[in-house]
């Protein structure tokens, strides 16, 4: 999903060459972005018009009043009309225009990452909760204060202006060079355009000394080559310009990060506390209770041993069985806290063991040699465990596959099945739990589960492999 | 019968020695880590090795890896692995060389001395002793088993799972409350359905168990 310019620099080293196809594509992208630029210009006009109109009306009105005293005539009525029109636009058009600006900026960010190879982060303030209970729409005042107090809104507007002033140069320069080159190439009349006779009929030859066909040919070829050569660079430059204006400031970036960290920390602490409570309860009701019962049984056996050795022996066996049950419970508990096979062998083998225990046919693939940080292994294990349990419970699938790999600084796990699909992370606490678990490590969970299947779940956690 | 023990917990090691000696085994070495275990197996050439999965210094599956190494050095060396928990994954690794003489039991089984020493003897004689929990986890979802195992009747599967635990025909008959002859008929049917050529009966039992666990 990287841009033409990025592809040139990424896969084949910084000096890799881009083919003709890629260069033509870069020009097509530039033209599309130019279309976006024009849309932006219109939007800018729509945003500015009410303000200008209102200011103009107000200014004229006061000027006229100062010059002519408190008289009311035709000139006055025109100014008041302008003022009212401006205010009406502010009331009814401005919020929509600002939101449209925001959409356009988001589209620019996305296209910049895709076409120019320059990813740009966004940092909009989250929408406030509607002040009126039961209402889903924000009130005008609330909406405007939300939009206008967000520095990103102003950043977007600035981008529209900057784009209008300088962006088009970068976008159109290569296309223009190629266009002019082609014309120069055609002008000498040596080239026959099919169906039109010689090209010189519709383009007059440029007037400068020495414009012989061969000189024009050389100039034409040079211009086309220059245009094609600079197209990816210009596109990347445009992405850079967009980032310069649209990317959030370091401060906003940090604020967003702090917000995110605070949230994941809160969730992690909550799940940690809940886990501890569960373990405490399990120990209290399970192993601890059994040990108490064993003590009582042994005590009874001690009292009976002289008078009724047979009964004492039966009680001793009973105590032995109770100890076996306590052991089994402790074993299950340990498995739920930190599976021993995970400690022994690491994530890949632990997931293989999980696959063997699953009621489904589960295929585990992927190279994952070496160990990951213990917390990541644990999170990955329980995530896959939960996902496989989900598959078995809800999907109706007969087979599932788990692919594990570590590439470019991230652990990637893909869990897929051939079931009915329709898994929705917004419902079902299972998937949300997995997403939370992964979020604590700055990881992401992406679910693709169309109705009718198949379901593919992608999990990515940045971490080191050792 | 000479035994080498590798177990890092002193109390359990001591208990194992006493238990085995009480049942007439000779404990030729008792060590507490993987390295010493390998050395002891090399010098003592025991009839069976009893190994704990988790051993120092790594406190991971050191014991299992040492056992597999010892097995590679002395093919067919009977090995009984003890563990606080069982994994099908480990059971498969132990059985992978197809030679039998392998046991994999929960430590809890030590509590029943007679049964435990029975298992030790069976493994030393070239049989298998899989923990009922391994079998149970296997059975929990083997109803849709594919391949030759799918051809077995429910009763035959039951017999096969008891065989995997390492029980003799007599013991299986007692457990299922049928005659020994009935069990012999079931085992013969299992061997036929799994395409195991008539040969030494013990070997066929091991192969049948392998087919079962290697699903």
Give the residue from B126, B78, B93 showing the smallest Cα distance to B213: B93
B39 and B120 share one domain:
yes
> d(Cα B204, Cα B180) in Å, to the nearest integer?
18
Q: What percent of chain A has pLDDT over 70?
A: 86
Identify whether the C-beta of residue B193 lies closer than 8 Å to the C-beta of residue B151: yes
Runs of H (alpha helix) within A112-212:
140-149, 151-162, 168-186
Other CB atoms within 10 Å distance of the CB of residue B20: 22
The residue in chain A having the minimum alpha-carbon distance to the alpha carbon of residue B55 is: A344
| Terminal-to-terminal C-alpha distance of chain B | 33
Q: Tell me what pLDDT residue A396 has.
A: 83
The answer to whether B140 contacts A353, with C-beta atoms less than 8 Å apart, is no
Q: Which residues contact B162 (CB under 8 A, 6 or more apart)?
A: B171, B172, B175, B176
| pLDDT category of residue A315 using cuts at 50, 70 and 90 | very high
CATH number, domain containing residue B14: 3.40.50.2300
* Gap from B89 CA to chain A (nearest CA, Å): 5
Interface of B with A (CB under 8 A): 53-54, 60-61, 64, 84-85, 87-90, 92, 106-108, 111-112, 137, 140-141
For B41-80, the pLDDT digits (tens) are: 999 999 999 999 999 888 888 999 999 999 999 988 999 9
pLDDT tens-digit map of A212-225: 667 777 778 888 88
Per-residue model confidence (pLDDT) at position A5: 45
Lowest mean pLDDT among A42-46, A88-92, A145-149, B203-207: B203-207
CB B66 within 8 A of CB B31: no
- pLDDT greater than 50 at residue B162: yes
The predicted pLDDT at position A460 comes to 92
Residues A369-398 pLDDT 10s: 889 999 999 999 999 999 998 888 888 888
Q: Which of A107-121, A418-432, B199-213 has the lowest mean pLDDT?
A: B199-213
Provide the number of structural domains found in chain B.
Answer: 2
**B155 and B110 assigned to the same domain:** no
Checking if the pLDDT of A411 tops 90, the result is yes
Kindly state whether residues B96 and B162 are assigned to the same domain. no
The verdict on B110 and B161 lying in the same domain is: no
pLDDT at position B215 over 70:
no
E strand or H helix at B60, and its extent?
A: none
**Nearest CB to A344: which of B61, B111, B140?**
B61
CB A451 within 8 A of CB A421: yes
Task: Specify the CATH number for the domain of residue B159.
Answer: 1.10.10.10
Q: Are residues B91 and B58 in the same domain?
A: yes
- Helix, coil or strand: residue A162: helix
How far apart are alpha carbons A297 and A251 in whole angstroms? 67
DSSP string, A214-281: HHHHHHHHHHHHHHHHHHHHHHHHHHHHHHHHHSPPHHHHHHHHHHHHHHHHHHHHHHHHHHHHHHHH
Residues of B with CB below 8 A from A336's CB? none
Query: What is the maximal distance between C-alpha atoms in chain A?
Result: 132
With 80 as the cut, is the pLDDT of residue A132 above it? Answer: no
Residues B39 and B122 reside in one and the same domain: yes
Confidence band of A247 (pLDDT split at 50, 70, 90): confident
Residues on A contacting B at a C-beta cutoff of 8 Å: 320, 323-324, 327-328, 331, 334-335, 340-341, 343-345, 349, 352-353, 356-359
Contact A402, A384 (CB under 8 A): yes
B111 shares a domain with B63: yes
Most confidently modeled of A122-131, A396-405, A424-433, B89-98?
A396-405
In this prediction, residues A440-446 reach a mean pLDDT of 88
**Chain B residues in contact with A323 (beta carbon < 8 A):** 111
Task: Specify whether the backbone of B31 is left (phi greater than 0), alpha (psi in -120 to 50) or beta.
Answer: beta
Q: How far is CA A246 from the centre of its chain?
A: 16
- According to DSSP, the β-strands at A410-417 and A455-462 are antiparallel
Q: What is the pLDDT of residue A439?
A: 87
Per 3-state DSSP, chain B is made up of helix, strand and coil in percentages (nearest 5) of 55, 15, 30
For chain A, how big is the Rg over CA atoms in Å? 35
Cα A232 to chain center, whole Å? 25
| Closest-CA residue of chain B to A356 | B88
Q: What is the pLDDT of residues A84-97, one digit of tens each?
A: 888 888 888 888 88
Confidence band (pLDDT; 50, 70, 90) for B214?
low
Taken as a whole, chain A contains a residue count of: 466
Q: Please, which pLDDT band fits residue A168 given cuts at 50, 70 and 90?
A: confident
Provide the 8-state DSSP code for A444: E
Paired tokens of B116 = 């435990």
Q: Which residue of B has its CA nearest to A327?
A: B108
Distance CA A134, CA A342 (A): 49
pTM to 2 decimal places: 0.64
Q: pLDDT tens for residues B130-155?
A: 888 887 777 665 554 556 677 788 88
Distances (CA, A) of B166 to A186, B19, B204: 91, 20, 13
Asked if A327 and A334 touch (Cβ cutoff 8 Å), the reply is no
Domain check: are B18 and B67 in the same one?
yes
pLDDT at A3: 44
Is B85 in contact with A320 (Cβ distance < 8 A)? no
- Quote the pLDDT of residue A191: 46
Residue B204, H or E segment? helix B201-213
User: Which of A320, A331, A357 lies nearest to residue B137, judging by beta carbons?
Assistant: A357
- φ, ψ of residue A413 to 5 degrees: the values are -125, 130
Contacts of A335 in chain B (CB under 8 A): 85
Q: Average per-residue pLDDT in chain A?
A: 82
Interface test with B, best of A328, A356, A371, A400 (most B CBs within 10 A): A356
Same domain, B128 and B158: no
Is B153 found in the same domain as B125? no
Q: Which chain B residues touch A349 with a CB distance below 8 Å?
A: 89
Question: Which 3 state secondary structure label does DSSP give B178?
Answer: coil
pLDDT of residue A131: 65
Are residues B88 and A353, on separate chains, in Cβ contact within 8 Å?
Answer: yes
User: Tokens standing for A464?
Assistant: 């080191």
Contact list, A353 vs chain B (CB under 8 Å): 87-89
Domain that residue B87 falls in:
2-133
Taking contacts as CB-CB distances below 8 angstroms, the residues of chain A near B89 are: 341, 345, 349, 352-353, 356
pLDDT of residue A8: 39
Whether A11 has a pLDDT exceeding 80, the answer reads no
Indicate yes or no: CB of A359 within 8 angstroms of CB of B85.
no
Confidence of residue A17 (pLDDT cuts 50, 70, 90): low
Strand partners, A462: A410
Residues B181 and B207 in one domain: yes
For residue A276, give how far its alpha carbon lies from the nearest alpha carbon of chain B (Å): 22
- On whether both B117 and B172 belong to a single domain, the answer is no
Evaluate if residue A207 carries a pLDDT over 60. no
What's the gap between Cα A420 and its chain centre?
Answer: 26
Give pLDDT, residue A392. Answer: 86
Half-sphere CA count of A313, side-chain side, radius 13 A: 3
Confidence of residue B111 (pLDDT cuts 50, 70, 90): confident
- As a whole number of angstroms, the distance between CA A459 and CA A416 comes to 11
Partnered with residue A407 across adjacent β-strands are A410
Residue A109 vs residue B198, higher pLDDT:
A109
Residues in chain B closer than 8 A to A344 (CB atoms):
53-54, 60-61, 64
Q: Give the pLDDT confidence of A344-367 residue by residue, as tens digits.
A: 889 999 999 888 888 888 899 988
**ipTM score of the complex?**
0.77
């Amino acid at each position: 999903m990287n841009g033409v310019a990025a592809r040139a620099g990424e896969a084949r080293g910084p000096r890799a060459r881009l083919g003709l196809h890629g260069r033509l594509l870069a020009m097509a992208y530039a033209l599309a972005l130019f279309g976006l630029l024009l849309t932006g210009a219109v939007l800018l006009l729509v945003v500015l018009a009410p303000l200008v109109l209102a200011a103009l009306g107000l200014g004229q009105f006061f000027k006229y009043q100062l010059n002519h005293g408190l008289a009311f005539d035709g000139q006055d009525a025109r100014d008041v009309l302008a003022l009212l029109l401006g205010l009406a636009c502010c009331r009814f058009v401005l919020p929509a225009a600002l939101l449209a600006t925001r959409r356009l900026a988001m589209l620019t960010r996305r296209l910049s990452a895709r076409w120019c190879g320059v990813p740009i982060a966004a940092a909009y303030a989250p929408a406030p909760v509607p002040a009126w209970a039961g209402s889903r729409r924000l009130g005008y005042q609330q909406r405007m204060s939300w939009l206008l107090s967000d520095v990103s809104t102003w950043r977007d507007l600035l981008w529209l202006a900057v784009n209008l002033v300088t962006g088009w140069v970068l976008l159109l320069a290569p296309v223009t060079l190629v266009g002019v080159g082609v014309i120069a190439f055609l002008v000498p009349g040596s080239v026959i355009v099919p169906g039109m006779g010689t090209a010189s009929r519709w383009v007059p030859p440029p007037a400068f000394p020495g414009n012989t066909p061969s000189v024009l040919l050389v100039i034409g070829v040079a211009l086309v080559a220059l245009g094609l050569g600079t197209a990816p660079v210009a596109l990347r430059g445009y992405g850079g310009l967009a980032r310069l204006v649209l990317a959030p400031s370091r401060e906003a970036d940090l604020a967003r990060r702090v917000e995110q960290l605070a949230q994941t920390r809160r969730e992690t602490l909550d799940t940690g506390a809940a886990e501890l409570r569960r373990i405490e309860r399990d120990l209290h009701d399970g192993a601890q209770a059994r040990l108490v019962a064993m003590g009582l049984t042994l005590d009874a056996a001690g009292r009976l041993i002289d008078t009724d050795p047979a009964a004492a022996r039966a009680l001793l066996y009973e105590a032995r069985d109770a100890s076996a049950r306590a052991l089994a419970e402790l074993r299950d508990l340990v498995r739920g806290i930190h599976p021993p096979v995970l400690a022994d062998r690491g994530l890949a083998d632990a997931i293989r063991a999980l696959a063997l225990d699953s009621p489904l046919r589960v295929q585990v693939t992927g190279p994952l040699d070496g160990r990951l940080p213990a917390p990541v292994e644990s999170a990955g294990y329980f995530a896959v465990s939960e996902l496989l349990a989900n598959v078995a419970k809800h999907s109706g699938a007969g087979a599932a596959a788990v692919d594990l790999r570590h590439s470019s600084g991230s652990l990637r796990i893909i869990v897929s099945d051939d079931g009915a699909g329709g898994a929705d992370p917004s419902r079902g606490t299972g998937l949300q739990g997995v997403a939370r678990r992964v979020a604590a490590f700055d990881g992401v969970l992406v679910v693709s589960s169309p109705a009718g299947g198949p379901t593919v779940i992608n999990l990515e956690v940045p971490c080191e492999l050792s | 019968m000479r035994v080498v023990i590798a177990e890092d917990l002193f109390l359990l090691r001591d208990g194992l020695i006493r238990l085995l000696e009480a049942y007439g085994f000779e404990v030729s070495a008792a060590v507490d880590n993987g390295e010493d275990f390998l050395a002891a197996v090399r010098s003592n050439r025991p009839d069976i090795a009893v190994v704990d999965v988790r051993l120092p210094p790594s406190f991971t599956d050191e014991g299992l890896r040492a056992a597999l190494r010892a097995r590679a050095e002395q093919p067919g060396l009977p090995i009984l692995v003890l563990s606080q928990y069982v994994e099908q994954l480990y059971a498969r690794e132990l059985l992978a060389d197809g030679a039998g003489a392998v046991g994999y039991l929960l430590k809890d089984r030590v509590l029943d001395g007679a049964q435990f020493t029975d298992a030790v003897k069976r493994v030393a004689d070239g049989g298998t002793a899989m923990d009922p929990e391994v079998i149970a986890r296997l059975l929990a979802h083997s109803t849709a088993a594919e391949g030759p195992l799918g051809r077995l009747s429910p009763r035959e599967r039951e017999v096969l799972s008891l065989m995997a635990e390492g029980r003799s025909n007599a013991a299986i008959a007692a457990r299922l409350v049928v005659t020994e002859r009935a069990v012999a008929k079931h085992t013969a049917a299992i061997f036929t359905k799994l395409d195991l050529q008539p040969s030494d009966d013990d070997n066929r039992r091991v192969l049948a168990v392998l087919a079962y666990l290697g699903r």
